[in-house]
Amino acid sequence: MPKKRIYLDYAATTPVDKRVMKAMTPYFSEKFGNPSSVHIFGQEASKAVEKAREKIAVFFNCSPTEIIFTSGATESNNLAIKGAVKKFYTEPKNKGIKPRLITDSIEHSCVLNTCRSLEKEGLAEVVYIAPNKEGIIQIKDIAAAINENTLLVSIMYVNNEIGTIQPIATIGKFLEKENANRKRKILFHTDATQAVNYLDCDVEKLGVDLLSLSGHKIYGPKGVGALYVKKGTLLTRIQDGGEQERKMRAGTHNVPAIVGLGKALELVMKEKSKIAIKTEKLRDYLIARVLKEIPQSYLNGSAKKRIPNNANFRFDNVEGEGLLLSLDLEGIAVSTGSACASRSLEPSHVLLALGLKHEQAHGSLRLTLGKTTTRKEIDLVVNKLKVIIERLRKISGDVLKSFQ
């Protein structure tokens, strides 16, 4: 008989909420029009897209015209950064100048690799700020990195591996002050993919010009995301074609997924505070039990500035990979780092940036809770974890002894 499975990898992806699915369903086979079509089938689809856009605008406290639909957070981040750089080169006043981008070394690979691509192509100079030991970016480091050619600062709202919350609103205020005395305004972008479920995402309060989000991290569908683009912020589109999304993103609208994204955000808005409190409590219980009951276990990242659903542990003398596989055999799904890098054998760039050694990074495990996670599940996972870690440590001890 198959074991009951426990999923504690909600930072990698979430199931589509039944209510989201219900909202999406009519737009696959029934109201299936192309929103760009003029006739009634097109109008129906177009209305659904615009209604979703309005819901999203309410969530972020912005205007619907400031929301651009994309295929996901990866595309949103590519569009924000490359779009700003491409735009920079279209402006005659910038002739002969290479723009500077400022980001940090613990961003998701879609921000890091976008920056690296631009560097490689010679289109931008990039400063990668290191976080402190808790994974927090310091404003003084941003200040030190700014020069007159600085075009954009991109700092994630919440780190996907260690759950650390960055001081986005404070950075926003700092940049606003900076911009008051500058000819070239510095744009502020944040990847809010991991923040939306739990944190205040009011773009006014955050002081951002660009904000990325994803559907499938918030109980919405995969294959859809959005980019908030503050009025007056000019980007050159990176996906060329038709005139969709005010010529900022070509391609037929993914209508059901867009409807689903709108519904998912509506639900987050309604249920966020309740779920955050419940989840944080459970997560704190998980952390307390692990640190108390498992010897040589440590919490990676910040204990306080942390998203409610994230726990990231390291265990001395255990391989995270072995832990993950042993837990998987027990029907428990966790991760060693970002899903996007999980098939790579490299240690997590995030954990290394915190100052961890390779073996410490390799001995780390990420557990991320969801809105249906129960105390019973947490108990079961901790109990299994204790047994498995003891066993794995014994094996590696025996192996070491056999070499002595």
| Binds a copy of itself (CB under 8 A): choice among 4, 30, 180, 398 | 30
Q: Which stretch binds a copy of itself (CB under 8 A): 4-12, 130-138, 285-293, 372-380?
A: 4-12
| Binds a copy of itself (CB under 8 A): choice among 212, 254, 326, 373 | 254
Secondary structure (3-state) at 282? helix
Secondary structure (3-state) at 273? helix
Closest distance of CB 102 from a copy of itself, Å: 18
Round to whole Å and give the CA distance between 80 and 74. 10
Is 38 a binder of a copy of itself (CB under 8 A)? yes
Q: Which stretch binds a copy of itself (CB under 8 A): 1-9, 181-189, 196-204, 393-401?
A: 1-9
Round to whole Å and give the CA distance between 254 and 198. 26
| Residue among 219 and 228 whose Cβ is closer to a copy of itself | 219
Q: What residues from 42 to 81 belong to the interface with a copy of itself (CB under 8 A)?
A: 42, 71-75, 77-78
| Residue among 207 and 217 whose Cβ is closer to a copy of itself | 217
| Binds a copy of itself (CB under 8 A): choice among 4, 148, 177, 243 | 243
Closest distance of CB 243 from a copy of itself, Å: 6
Torsion angles phi and psi, residue 73, rounded to 5: -65, -35
> Which residues lie closer than 8 Å to 404 by C-beta, 6 or more apart?
none
Q: Which stretch binds a copy of itself (CB under 8 A): 10-18, 227-235, 305-313, 384-392?
A: 10-18
Annotated catalytic, 340?
Answer: yes
End-to-end CA distance of the chain: 42
128, 113 contact by CB (below 8 A): no
Is 108 a binder of a copy of itself (CB under 8 A)? yes
Q: Give the residue carrying structure tokens 């996972």.
A: 381
Q: What residues from 117 to 146 belong to the interface with a copy of itself (CB under 8 A)?
A: 117, 121
| Residue among 62 and 211 whose Cβ is closer to a copy of itself | 211
Residue 213 host element (H or E): strand 210-214
Secondary structure (3-state) at 296? coil
Is 253 a binder of a copy of itself (CB under 8 A)? yes
| Binds a copy of itself (CB under 8 A): choice among 91, 241, 273, 274 | 241
Angle at 213 between CA 61 and CA 282, to 5 degrees: 95
Secondary structure (3-state) at 193? coil
DSSP category for residue 305: S
Round to whole Å and give the CA distance between 351 and 305. 16
Q: What residues from 340 to 359 belong to the interface with a copy of itself (CB under 8 A)?
A: 340-344
- The residue among 210, 206, 193 whose CA lies nearest residue 167 is 206
Is 392 a binder of a copy of itself (CB under 8 A)? no
Q: Which of 110, 115, 201, 340 is catalytic?
A: 340
| Binds a copy of itself (CB under 8 A): choice among 238, 323, 382, 388 | 238
Is 295 a binder of a copy of itself (CB under 8 A)? no
| Residue among 58 and 333 whose Cβ is closer to a copy of itself | 333
Q: What residues from 176 to 215 belong to the interface with a copy of itself (CB under 8 A)?
A: 214
33-38 long-range contacts, CB within 8 A, separation 24+: 33/255, 34/252, 34/253, 35/244, 35/252, 35/253, 35/255, 36/242, 36/243, 36/244, 36/252, 36/253
Q: Which stretch binds a copy of itself (CB under 8 A): 34-42, 171-179, 287-295, 298-306?
A: 34-42
Size of the site for a copy of itself (CB under 8 A): 79
Q: What residues from 296 to 325 belong to the interface with a copy of itself (CB under 8 A)?
A: 324-325
Q: Which residues are catalytic?
A: 340
